[in-house]
Structure 1
Amino acid sequence: MDADRRGGLRTPIFADDEAQASGSEAREHEVHKAAGHCSDKALKVILCLQFLEVSAFYGVYLNLIVYLQDVLHGDSASNVTAVNSWAGVSYLMPLLGAAVADSYWGKHKTVLIGLSISVVGMAMVTTSATLPSLRPPRCSPGAYCAPATLSQELVFFSGIYLCGVGIGASKAVFISFAAEQFDDDDDKNTSGREAKASYFSWYYAVANVAMLTAGTLLVWVEDKVNWGLGYGICASFVVVAVVGLAATAPMYRLVPPAGSPIKGVLQVLVALSRKVNLAVPDDATELYEEDGVKNPLLHPLHERLQHTEQFRCLDKAAIVTAEDLEDGDLNRPWRLCTVTQVEELKTLLRLIPIWLTSAVYFVANTQAQTTFVQQGTKTDSHIAGGAASVPAASLTSIETVLAAAYVTFYNRAVAPSVAFTPLQLMGLGHATAAGAVAVAACTEACRLRMAGGQEAAQMGIAWLLPQYAVMAVSDASLSVGQMQFFYDQSPETMRGASTAFYFLSISLGNLINSQLVTLVASVTSAGGRTGWFPPEMDDGRLDYYFVLVVAITLLNFAVFVALAKNYTSKRVR
């Protein structure tokens, strides 16, 4: 990328500013030119560090349910609940991390501290998996399996939660930190936007390679060699990421925290409360909107949004009253807000319902990391005539490969001629998620019939591939569509946290699924019945649970379609 273009400054838009800005412009140009020269290298380093971070996270996540089942001897329902709860907390942390980074620490410091916290957690998990005193004894065939003691569970779960909190808090901030390496002017031209978009494409590719590495190499080491060694490799990845990020700090473009976007929302609400009894004028031009700043070199211009008729009651926050004009100073945002501030809140209110449907979507999506894996543990893992064995958690790697292949096919074969809008991609993701879980329900019903037959035959693990293939299309469609949609539609002041909305939807989806499993297990086992989630999967009815998830997903899809049809896009002046 052309460093001069990336490092260029805004041209003063008022003639009387040019003289006073010329000397500053020359000095700033040299600074930005030097920063632009190393930003390509900085992005490559960041992508390498993100590879290590994602690999370590999924090295723990993808095989966590197997560890809880085979090492800590937890029952089926509690294992699913534990994984969902941990994943939910981990994906909730990006929102907290983004808020802290924007308000206090800045992105670089937030990522560094978050990854450092995860190093402590990784060390505890590795120690728990290595020392015999910190895990229950192995199960003998046909013998009683002693569950983990309270102290053993405390050490392990403390470790994975520290890991989840640390990596989770830094995950979304790391992505926006990389995008921050581009100069602000890159958003003002087509080539600049394409260059920044290319980073997100590279991140998606690197994240998929990292998940593939975790789902094959790391899962294989944990499952077939030694759990302690596998977790130790994950810990070493995070250590290298922390050291690398700290050592390469001089090459980054560090932007100080500008304040949380939540503050703007609160200002609108406070101003609204002061003027709640006023009538909204029929002419929107009577509402307050400040003029552009005089010197854009010192005060960057931000996008200004057009007024919309939806949520008109919020317009009261932008009504200019006699009290506002008394001292001639209108720059009091806690009493008088601009139309743009009000429209930013309106945009947020329009996005929330669509975001909630994405959260419900992940109830279906998370089955690939939980119940689909449990299915795999009850199948014959041998392939190629018994020449090789595939760990159940490695099936997620096939989903990762198929998702990457699907995105490549879409970008090169479909998008040039018939490009879907972000909302259409999200709709495709919703619909195919229901299809994937429906396939899983049919497969599980067949597996249970085979396991309950006279010969008690085991289904081959390859029979699970179709559900993973359909889920790959679903995950890629919704993830790409949602990130693009929220980045495009989020107010400019909130784009830094737009990726946090994606991770937050994953978090909420996992938490919903966790509570759903607990509720279903409790209801179906009432009165001494076996229930859908007994300790032995072959005695349960996981296929019935899949049918329930399909019904929820289809209902959620219908709600999404209704919201998408009535959505009002953000309009920039």
Structure 2
Amino acid sequence: MPVLGAAVADSFWGKYKTVLAGLTISVVGMAMVTTSATLPSLRPPPCAQQSAYCAPATLRQELLFFSGIYLCAVGIGAAKAVFISFAAEQFDDGDGRKSSYFSWYYTAANMGMLTAATLLVWVQDKVSWGFGYGICASFVVVSVVGLAATVPMYRILPPAGSPLKGVLQVLVASSRKVKLTVPRDAAELYEGEDVKNPLLHSPLHERLQHTDQFRSLDKAAMVTDEDLEGGDHRPWRLCTVTQVEELKTLLRLIPIWLTSAVYFLANTQAQTTFVQQGTKTDSRITIGAVSISIPAASLTSIQTVCVAACVTLYNRAVAQSSPFTPLRLMGLGHATAAASVAVAACTEARRLRIATEGDSAAAAAMGIAWLLPQYVVMAVSDASLSVGQLQFFYDQAPETMRGASTAFYFLSVSLGNLINSQLVTIVASVTAAGGRTGWFPPELDDGHLDYYFLLVVAVATVNFGVFVALAKNYTPKRVRQSRLDSLSSS
């Protein structure tokens, strides 16, 4: 949904309308879910005491509940990536506050998830599900009303037109001239200073400099006699240098984006295998005379708090002219993700050794606090890569794809989780072949989760090496100074 929402925002509605429409749809969804959880006639009756039988939900009850759930997914999913780029547009290019914005956004998002997973869950569990959902719905209503009421405050740019259309025009135009030879002098390529590019918000200010990479695409900007027939340039035969450079920029971003998708294979261990690992430890943490029991699933909340702390430190570093560029932040995220899973592998090897050396009581002797280092290191990784990726893709993406650039982040998270699921399935099948126990038996003490961690470390390390090579050879997007800029500066 973030990808679809970004496409609609960039091509038709614009970012503000897309965000407002998405949040409005989610209000309807939350209202349906709240109603389903509140009215007795719209939910199944309570299960009978001392009985294994529970009355199933009726078709009407299921339709109401699941329609509400999916409307929430559609609305929030379509709005959240667009919201990030819409808010970033409120800053001028070169404004140092834009870098801080991406990090503070990520902090706020994590604190929101932390609040939902702790306080809100407590309300739903101790008070009622309907009241908890009602709180959620109320917050979304407030956000819609606040966004609509403050519209005069915002810088609202019109949609730039379909970015896919510009990409296809370059591909079609270059394929028609495949037999031509690209000129050595880039000045011979067509830019069309007097022709406004409908795909750009500000054609005078957003013309990109020519680069030598992917030179075959430059054929789309080579002028032939057929291109100017009738007096007007034909966009499916002749494209501007800026259009060609936008496609080149996209092609340079895709490999880096793919390394981010592989990164989330390691990152997602904090919500999956790290939690499984925690269930096999002693959940009590004793501080002096006080003993606290921490459920394994709650360790993700500790990671969230650490992410917020890391982002705060990053913002202080940015204020002091830190050398951490977005690409360097992403590199730090890749490296520390591998380090976090490596720590988890060492911890799991120690836990398995304790489990095999003694009885079941001794197996729980390793306290859950041993898992804290891997969560802290993963928090550093999460904050570094996520903030760096959001900022990097927004800054480097073509102007016509600013909405889609932030959607790439959410898509990489999804792909990382899918890769992890498939890898677990394959490893479980291969290691359990021939009647062997395998790495993932029902009883974790009989398996080798540490081996799986080492496999993830190997994948993350190779992925880090690929990222470093791509980052070193990356050609950043460069905007040509327009004639209007030259006049104003002189």
TM > 0.5 between the two?
yes
Aligned partner of 2:273: which letter? Answer: T
Q: What does 1:20-419 align with in structure 2 at a 5 Å threshold?
A: 93-119=1-27, 122=30, 161-181=70-90, 186-187=92-93, 190=94, 193-221=95-123, 230=132, 233-246=135-148, 248-249=150-151, 252-291=154-193, 301-330=204-233, 332-384=234-286, 387-413=291-317, 416=320, 419=323
Structure 1 gap ranges (5+) = 1-92
Aligned partner of 2:348: which letter? Answer: E
Kept in 2, the 8 Å contact 1:215–1:395? The answer is no
Measured in 2, the distance between the counterparts of 1:213 and 1:303 equals: 41
SS in 1 for 2:205: coil
Describe the shift of the 1:135–1:552 C-alpha distance in structure 2 as closer, same or farther (beyond 3 A): farther
Measured in 2, the distance between the counterparts of 1:124 and 1:526 equals: 47
How far did residue 451 of structure 1 move?
4.8
Measured in 1, the distance between the counterparts of 2:48 and 2:343 equals: 35
Aligned partner of 1:99: which letter? Answer: A
Say if 2:380 is the partner of 1:476: no
Report how many residues are paired: 467
Identical amino acids, percent of aligned pairs: 79
How far did residue 200 of structure 1 move?
3.0
SS in 1 for 2:81: helix
Measured in 1, the distance between the counterparts of 2:126 and 2:343 equals: 29
Q: What does 1:475-554 align with in structure 2 at a 5 Å threshold?
A: 475-554=382-461
Over residues 422-460 of structure 1, what are the superposed CA-to-partner deviations in whole Å (9 max), with x where a residue is unaligned?
222211111110110111222233334445531424343
Describe the shift of the 1:424–1:173 C-alpha distance in structure 2 as closer, same or farther (beyond 3 A): same
Aligned partner of 1:429: which letter? Answer: G
Kept in 2, the 8 Å contact 1:444–1:542? The answer is yes
Aligned mate of 1:425, from 321, 329, 333: 329
How far did residue 251 of structure 1 move?
5.1
How far did residue 362 of structure 1 move?
0.7
Measured in 2, the distance between the counterparts of 1:221 and 1:341 equals: 53
Structure 2 gap ranges (5+) = 481-490
Over residues 75-113 of structure 1, what are the superposed CA-to-partner deviations in whole Å (9 max), with x where a residue is unaligned?
xxxxxxxxxxxxxxxxxx211110011222332332233
SS in 1 for 2:162: coil
Aligned partner of 1:315: which letter? Answer: D
Kept in 2, the 8 Å contact 1:172–1:499? The answer is yes
How far did residue 260 of structure 1 move?
2.3
How far did residue 500 of structure 1 move?
1.5
Kept in 2, the 8 Å contact 1:438–1:550? The answer is yes
Aligned partner of 2:79: which letter? Answer: S
Over residues 135-175 of structure 1, what are the superposed CA-to-partner deviations in whole Å (9 max), with x where a residue is unaligned?
997999xxx999x9999999987765553333222111111
Aligned partner of 1:456: which letter? Answer: A
How far did residue 495 of structure 1 move?
2.6
Describe the shift of the 1:114–1:413 C-alpha distance in structure 2 as closer, same or farther (beyond 3 A): closer
Describe the shift of the 1:399–1:432 C-alpha distance in structure 2 as closer, same or farther (beyond 3 A): same
SS in 2 for 1:207: helix
SS in 2 for 1:383: strand
Kept in 2, the 8 Å contact 1:363–1:509? The answer is yes
SS in 2 for 1:96: helix
2:486 alignment counterpart: none
Kept in 1, the 8 Å contact 2:29–2:67? The answer is yes
Aligned mate of 1:443, from 347, 350, 362: 347
Describe the shift of the 1:180–1:419 C-alpha distance in structure 2 as closer, same or farther (beyond 3 A): closer
2:485 alignment counterpart: none
2:359 alignment counterpart: 454
How far did residue 134 of structure 1 move?
6.0
Kept in 1, the 8 Å contact 2:104–2:311? The answer is no
1:31 alignment counterpart: none
Measured in 2, the distance between the counterparts of 1:414 and 1:300 equals: 31
Q: 340-349 or 365-374: which moved more?
A: 365-374
Over residues 276-316 of structure 1, what are the superposed CA-to-partner deviations in whole Å (9 max), with x where a residue is unaligned?
2222122221111111569xxx9652322222221111011
How far did residue 542 of structure 1 move?
2.6
Describe the shift of the 1:251–1:482 C-alpha distance in structure 2 as closer, same or farther (beyond 3 A): closer
Over residues 190-222 of structure 1, what are the superposed CA-to-partner deviations in whole Å (9 max), with x where a residue is unaligned?
4xx224444334323322332332343235556
2:484 alignment counterpart: none
Kept in 2, the 8 Å contact 1:219–1:391? The answer is no
Kept in 2, the 8 Å contact 1:124–1:159? The answer is yes
Measured in 1, the distance between the counterparts of 2:45 and 2:297 equals: 21
Q: 413-422 or 545-554: which moved more?
A: 413-422
Over residues 449-476 of structure 1, what are the superposed CA-to-partner deviations in whole Å (9 max), with x where a residue is unaligned?
4455314243433222101110111111
Describe the shift of the 1:198–1:558 C-alpha distance in structure 2 as closer, same or farther (beyond 3 A): closer
Kept in 1, the 8 Å contact 2:335–2:464? The answer is yes
